[in-house]
Structure 1
Amino acid sequence: MIPDSFIQELLARVDIAEVVGRYVQLRKGGANLLGLCPFHNEKSPSFTVSPVKQFYHCFGCGAHGSAITFLMEHTGASFPEAVRSLASTVGLSVPEENRSPRQQAEDARRREEVSRHSQMLEMALAHYRKSLKQSPAAIRYLQERGLTGTIAAQFGLGWADADRQGLAKVFPRYDDPLLVEAGLVIESEDGRRYDRFRDRVMFPIRNARGHLIGFGGRVIGKGEPKYLNSPETPIFSKGNELYGLWEGRLAVRSEGQVVVVEGYMDVVGLAQQGVGNAVATLGTATTPTHVQKLLRASDKVVFSFDGDKAGRRAAWRALQACLPLLRDDISIRFLFLPDDHDPDSYVRAFGPEAFRACLDEAVALSRFLLDELASRHDLSEVEGRAACVHEAKPLLLAVPEGTLRLQLQHELARQVLLTSDELAGILAAAGPGPGAKPAPGRPSAPAAPAPPAGQGAGDHGELPPPWEGGMVVPDDPDMGWQPADSAGDEGYYGGYPDAGSSSGYGGGQAQQGQGYGKGGGGRRNFGDRKDRGEWKGKGRGRDEGPPSLAPPPGRRPVTSLAKRLLRLLLSHPELVDEMGEQQLEVLDKGPHLHLVRDLVVLAQASGARHLGALLQAAEPDSDLALVLQQALADVMAQAELPEPQVEWEDALRRIELDALRIEQSELVRGGLADPAAKAHYLELSQRITVLNKSSAR
């Protein structure tokens, strides 16, 4: 493992403009640099690099990240490879975290094993690609499917001939045990060996980093099985991988969605016709791991299955895998083509625009779920409706709590002639489901109670009423506050011409007296907290979910307090240098501010002092990482504030004022009969006065 501290030191030393500039022609555009995005096709530059914030962001496709992320995404390097490459340019040596000699030896053995597996697979792929050029039957098959040499090169297609030991020409040591372990060779019980793949078009399978991890082979005649995958190996697990995810990564960004189809040929055929954002599971049912990878690639997913019974069964299994991972800000839909078509045949028959039109009409997951449940039961009978609820219970309980689940419950209740409350009671009696977690939300602020009968507003003695001066206990603390590899594609089929169809898609995240001035007392350096050193965005706040950065429908886009603070910190991470325990406690008082606090802790723990470093330090797929990614465009476009420290101090002051006023209202609700309560009320009033005076300065 490479220590986090080294990653932050590296990012502080490298210049992202220089790193990106090796691959992209950049020009000055105000405080930033502009260029044509290397991750999607565009004619006008929307790709922006910030030398100050040390990150890049494309306003066209959403690609973003640090210098490390850029190398990984653009060159296909792994994380360690990208780190080592950058370190070599600034004269740094990459250290390893302290590990025992046994652990280091195991790490070295594992790296060597993976390296040898990868080398063997690449050597086999080179053999298969060369063999394709020498097989008229395989070329004819691909041409009949409308595939050109260009698309074959883009996906690295090959051919495994009928020779039982064809790979012996490639590997002189055909008895090497690693050939069996890599899934290239099968050894029978009597010790005889033969190639696993024979008489098949070969589809190399790459992981999300572009590394070759296995193969899929398809017969071109009547043999069985039609598709054959590599077996489970140390680097390949077919239940975790998606074919085409690497090859289609640019198209997924460009199209804004990912389409899941059933086979390799569907993926390649769609790409040939210009629909390059398709992926396929490897002959297995869709798993939660698949869904996680899909949602990492895009927040819009369309499953496209055949319209027959088998296709609908596959779709239902995919739906069940999606349920625990649903969120209010994603879209998962299902497309069922006519019985006599798969995606490949449909797009060849009617064209890519007709297929895209079908995608636009795909059925929402919620509609598919409710319609499928209704089709399985006779809802005109009491028994049928009861059975429908019985089947729906575990499905609904698998969905995380939130608006989507609430809407599903409302729709199902209407469908089975129950009230929403009745259905909610049935689900509550069943207990929480495996995917259930608290919904995003906040506790409601207590409303100030009406004074008891016969007691006026001034009956609390000399205590100032909490509503004096127009103060209203805020129900929403944010409400209204607006602070002042395709080489060699030419002649890929050798001496044979390409098919007649056009080539498709071509592409390859102080208290006393002074408010919150810099000299506030009672601060403690972050180093005093020993429990935060490894924090990377997990844990706190995860169950509550990230706040959406988009304005609610129908409301004026008001910059909320939480969003404002996040953007302020992202633009000026150095603000955390002046924060201590007192300020963190203030953030704890504000509902919805847990992610702001988490960002402060992350910056202090990691030492990140620019946005690129913060992005790299955040735990991937955490709520904090998601919010950082959503805020990138706003941060890039945001003008520099003249006094960010003043903005920050003013925000903390407002948070504490709201918290103090809510606490006063709670004391009023208790009647203030206790002298200690009255004394505490007066203390709160004095603190409010201090904060108001410091705000007026």
Structure 2
Amino acid sequence: MLTPQWLDELRSRISLSGVIGRTTRLTKAGREFKACCPFHNEKSPSFTVNDEKGFYHCFGCGAHGDVIRWMTDQRGLSFMDAVKELAVEAGMELPAPDPRAARRAEEQKSLHDVMAAAQSFFVHELSTEGGAAARRYLETRGFPARIVQEFGFGFAPDSRTALKEALHQFPHEMLVEAGLRIVVEDRDPYDRFRNRLMLPIHDARGRVIAFGGRILDTAKTDAPKYLNSPDTPLFDKGRTLYNLHRAAPAARRTDRLVVVEGYMDVVALAAAGIAEAVAPLGTALTEHQIERLWRVVETPVLCFDGDAAGKRAAKRAVERALPLLRPGHSLRIVSLPGGMDPDDLIKAEGPQAMERVLEGGKSLVETLWEAERDASPLVTPEDKAGLKARLLDHVETIQHPDIRSLYRRDLLERFDSFAFARRDRQRGSPRGVAPWRAAAPPPMPAQARDRLRRIGNGDGLLAAVVAGFIARPAFLARHAETLAKVDSPDRGFAATIDALIEISERTEPLETAALHTILAERRLKVPQPSDYAGMRFGFLEAGSGSGGDELAEALSLLVERPAIEAALAEATRRFEQELSDEAFAEQQRLRERKLAFEARLRQMASSRAGQE
């Protein structure tokens, strides 16, 4: 029996780019590979291969799949022949047939038949006289007929036995196991869903595995407004995302996946033209669901209602995500205005307003900072110390060492600015805002200051970092993903970086001399001391025990610098247009962050050059 876990292990052991590269010429492009699509004729490459996500995709013809799909579609093998060939390559034994697993698979297949029959029954009942109230509710929501049909809306009659009678061809035990009937002691069994508007819940393959029902008789205050199927052999609510089977293809086209609080929010967004939306099912977002989101896009957008409950849900999602963070994968958080849900906002201001909200999301670290800062009054030193302790507690949950270090630095910078900076009123501040003025940096020798100016304004830092990795190749594999984020205007250094990332994937030990030989053979640019203004960074000096840590920090500064400068330029532009307190505060926050960035770079420079 080929279980999903066994197939996932097979995929993880195989290099997708290695398999595809045997018949298709691939070119490294950052963390991905590009090529002209092998499935259709084209002159410019639109076919990408992503080893981290484990799939290929063509933006021209839409071809998409994993390594098994490649073997079946491109090589023409059957599914089992493809699996057998890949298993030999991965050094894995095919699992022996398991009679119990085969029996469970047959039972699940039968349960799928039950759920499909139930869905047909609910859809039919919506069109009958008994479904009139459900149809009127759908009209009040403004859902067009195509949306009602696409999402499979139905109606469960107000009867304790209607579903059982309609599905009489299935044993009663199967209806109970599928979550459609309820058995209690000393009472007759009865249908779980009664007098409710019904929505089917699908798995990733588009099969019905559960249902959600919205109450229509609002006078029943003791009944839940929404009722979902219980966990069954087909349905695990903590591992299922509503609408993922429709949203994933749309998300891969737009590179955006939106997570909302409920499935009616998903339907409202689809009706407004936003097809890439999913929702959890009655629970807070789980770790497994976050991992499922990251398999589709690297930074999903979590959209919460703007009320207190929405803020609590956002904080819970952040806390769940922190231990799972890895390079390139995060979350963006948006809150809807005025306690609205997506449908309210779309009806009030149109789909464009929803798009604007989704484009203005906050980063995960910013959401965490604001949630803890606003959690309680910060009046006394003890209050502020408590804030710092909570922030550091969150940081310690992050498993990835580089991300943990960067979060600690970011949050401590925000805390220091909040807790210690002097508040000086400046003339011209909008409406009496008292911005925090960063302390003047300590003086430094003129020679070091001149070198720092050249490093900060040119490509000196980039050249030093590249030289550092050539001098310390053992650190390449550890930091290759971060290095891939460097965007250099110098084509020579950009080509060298691509080569270093490619070389880092080799299994044999790397040595500086060998690197020099490879780069020379490829006629790639190797940094010279003159390229980094003669600065003597610690990671460039032989025998420096902390060189690896300093190299990692210099790389993070290199990646962070353009983002800070772009954000500050945008904040300044916004302030000049709006002249608002909020815009001014954001400009000052980014200015302080840039000053802190420059202070750290100056410190790294001063510790060496300043001693000459």
TM-score per shorter chain, which class?
A: 0.5 to 0.7
CA–CA separation in structure 2 for the residues paired with 1:304 and 1:567: 37
Q: Which residue of 2 aligns with 1:685?
A: none
Q: Which stretch of the first structure deviates more once superposed, 359-368 or 58-67?
A: 58-67
Q: Which residue of 2 aligns with 1:227?
A: 226
Q: Which residue of 2 aligns with 1:111?
A: 105
CA–CA separation in structure 2 for the residues paired with 1:71 and 1:158: 40
Q: 1:584, CA displacement in angstroms?
A: 4.5
- CA deviation digits over 1:264-309, x for unaligned, max 9? 1110011011011211111111222222122222122222222221
Q: 1:561, CA displacement in angstroms?
A: 5.6
Q: 1:382, CA displacement in angstroms?
A: 0.7
Indicate conservation of the 8 Å contact 1:300/1:330, yes or no: yes
Q: 1:388, CA displacement in angstroms?
A: 1.0
Q: 1:99, CA displacement in angstroms?
A: 5.0
CA–CA separation in structure 2 for the residues paired with 1:663 and 1:266: 54
Q: 1:410, CA displacement in angstroms?
A: 2.2
CA–CA separation in structure 2 for the residues paired with 1:585 and 1:86: 29
Q: 1:30, CA displacement in angstroms?
A: 7.2
Classify the secondary structure of the residue corresponding to 1:298: coil
Q: Which stretch of the first structure deviates more once superposed, 543-552 or 123-132?
A: 543-552
Counterparts in 2 of 1:15 and 1:198: CA distance versus 1, 3 Å: farther
Indicate conservation of the 8 Å contact 2:179/2:229, yes or no: yes
Q: Which residue of 1 aligns with 2:142?
A: 146
Counterparts in 2 of 1:141 and 1:410: CA distance versus 1, 3 Å: same
- CA deviation digits over 1:49-95, x for unaligned, max 9? 99xxxx953247997545634799x9xxxxxx98249789xxxxxxx
- Superposition pairs of residues 567-606 of structure 1, within 5 angstroms: 584-587=507-510, 589=511
Indicate conservation of the 8 Å contact 2:477/2:504, yes or no: no
Counterpart of 2:197 (choices 201, 225, 231) is 201
- CA deviation digits over 1:190-210, x for unaligned, max 9? 362111111112111122332
- Are 1:551 and 2:486 counterparts? yes
CA–CA separation in structure 1 for the residues paired with 2:366 and 2:10: 49
CA–CA separation in structure 1 for the residues paired with 2:112 and 2:492: 51
Indicate conservation of the 8 Å contact 1:303/1:335, yes or no: yes
Indicate conservation of the 8 Å contact 2:56/2:65, yes or no: yes
Q: 1:408, CA displacement in angstroms?
A: 2.5
Classify the secondary structure of the residue corresponding to 1:550: coil
CA–CA separation in structure 1 for the residues paired with 2:502 and 2:477: 20
Classify the secondary structure of the residue corresponding to 1:248: helix
Letter in 1 for 2:469: P
Q: Which residue of 1 aligns with 2:566?
A: none
Letter in 1 for 2:468: D
Indicate conservation of the 8 Å contact 2:125/2:154, yes or no: yes
CA–CA separation in structure 2 for the residues paired with 1:586 and 1:14: 26
- CA deviation digits over 1:580-602, x for unaligned, max 9? xxx95434x479x9xxxxxxxxx
CA–CA separation in structure 2 for the residues paired with 1:272 and 1:330: 29
Q: Which residue of 2 aligns with 1:131?
A: 125
Indicate conservation of the 8 Å contact 1:158/1:202, yes or no: yes
Q: 1:179, CA displacement in angstroms?
A: 1.5
Counterparts in 2 of 1:190 and 1:297: CA distance versus 1, 3 Å: same
- Superposition pairs of residues 34-49 of structure 1, within 5 angstroms: 34=40, 48=47
Counterpart of 2:414 (choices 386, 411, 415) is 411
Classify the secondary structure of the residue corresponding to 2:338: coil
Classify the secondary structure of the residue corresponding to 1:156: coil
Q: Which residue of 2 aligns with 1:262?
A: 261
Q: Which residue of 2 aligns with 1:506?
A: none
Counterparts in 2 of 1:71 and 1:139: CA distance versus 1, 3 Å: farther
CA–CA separation in structure 2 for the residues paired with 1:473 and 1:346: 47
- CA deviation digits over 1:347-378, x for unaligned, max 9? 12211111101112223222222122222343
Question: Identity across aligned pairs (percent)?
Answer: 32
Q: Which residue of 1 aligns with 2:292?
A: 293
- Superposition pairs of residues 196-595 of structure 1, within 5 angstroms: 196-222=192-218, 223=220, 224-399=223-398, 400-401=400-401, 402=403, 403-417=406-420, 475-478=467-470, 546-552=481-487, 558-559=493-494, 563-564=498-499, 584-587=507-510, 589=511
CA–CA separation in structure 2 for the residues paired with 1:348 and 1:45: 42
CA–CA separation in structure 2 for the residues paired with 1:590 and 1:139: 72
Q: Which residue of 1 aligns with 2:167?
A: 171
Classify the secondary structure of the residue corresponding to 2:109: helix
Indicate conservation of the 8 Å contact 2:241/2:289, yes or no: yes
Classify the secondary structure of the residue corresponding to 1:281: coil
CA–CA separation in structure 1 for the residues paired with 2:125 and 2:169: 20
CA–CA separation in structure 1 for the residues paired with 2:298 and 2:491: 25
Counterparts in 2 of 1:303 and 1:542: CA distance versus 1, 3 Å: farther
CA–CA separation in structure 2 for the residues paired with 1:565 and 1:273: 45
Letter in 2 for 1:111: A
CA–CA separation in structure 2 for the residues paired with 1:62 and 1:380: 57
CA–CA separation in structure 2 for the residues paired with 1:275 and 1:110: 38
CA–CA separation in structure 2 for the residues paired with 1:299 and 1:130: 40
Counterpart of 2:179 (choices 179, 183, 208) is 183
Instruction: State the structure with more CA Rg.
Output: 1
Q: 1:225, CA displacement in angstroms?
A: 0.6
Indicate conservation of the 8 Å contact 1:35/1:45, yes or no: no
Q: Which residue of 1 aligns with 2:584?
A: none
CA–CA separation in structure 1 for the residues paired with 2:21 and 2:489: 42
- After superposition, the CA RMSD in angstroms is 4.9
User: How many correspondences in the alignment?
Assistant: 451
Q: 1:6, CA displacement in angstroms?
A: 10
CA–CA separation in structure 2 for the residues paired with 1:406 and 1:347: 39
Classify the secondary structure of the residue corresponding to 2:481: coil
Classify the secondary structure of the residue corresponding to 1:354: helix
CA–CA separation in structure 2 for the residues paired with 1:287 and 1:31: 36
Runs (5+) with no aligned partner, structure 1: 18-28, 37-43, 75-80, 89-95, 420-471, 482-539, 571-582, 594-645, 656-661, 668-697
CA–CA separation in structure 2 for the residues paired with 1:171 and 1:368: 49
Q: 1:133, CA displacement in angstroms?
A: 2.0
Q: 1:45, CA displacement in angstroms?
A: 10
Indicate conservation of the 8 Å contact 1:35/1:46, yes or no: no
Indicate conservation of the 8 Å contact 1:299/1:330, yes or no: yes
Classify the secondary structure of the residue corresponding to 2:265: helix
Q: Which residue of 2 aligns with 1:505?
A: none
CA–CA separation in structure 2 for the residues paired with 1:473 and 1:287: 38
Classify the secondary structure of the residue corresponding to 2:468: coil
Q: Which residue of 1 aligns with 2:57?
A: 57
Q: 1:542, CA displacement in angstroms?
A: 9.6
- Superposition pairs of residues 19-98 of structure 1, within 5 angstroms: 32-34=38-40, 48=47, 57-59=57-59, 64-66=64-66, 68-69=68-69, 83-84=79-80, 97=93
Counterparts in 2 of 1:269 and 1:542: CA distance versus 1, 3 Å: farther
CA–CA separation in structure 1 for the residues paired with 2:109 and 2:275: 30
CA–CA separation in structure 2 for the residues paired with 1:16 and 1:124: 47
Runs (5+) with no aligned partner, structure 2: 24-34, 50-54, 85-91, 423-463, 527-538, 545-612
CA–CA separation in structure 1 for the residues paired with 2:78 and 2:312: 42
Classify the secondary structure of the residue corresponding to 2:231: coil
Counterparts in 2 of 1:231 and 1:45: CA distance versus 1, 3 Å: farther
Counterparts in 2 of 1:666 and 1:129: CA distance versus 1, 3 Å: same
- Superposition pairs of residues 651-666 of structure 1, within 5 angstroms: none
CA–CA separation in structure 1 for the residues paired with 2:213 and 2:500: 53
Indicate conservation of the 8 Å contact 2:36/2:45, yes or no: no
Counterparts in 2 of 1:251 and 1:6: CA distance versus 1, 3 Å: closer
Q: Which residue of 2 aligns with 1:528?
A: none
Counterparts in 2 of 1:30 and 1:323: CA distance versus 1, 3 Å: closer
Indicate conservation of the 8 Å contact 1:200/1:217, yes or no: yes
Classify the secondary structure of the residue corresponding to 1:285: coil
CA–CA separation in structure 2 for the residues paired with 1:559 and 1:334: 32
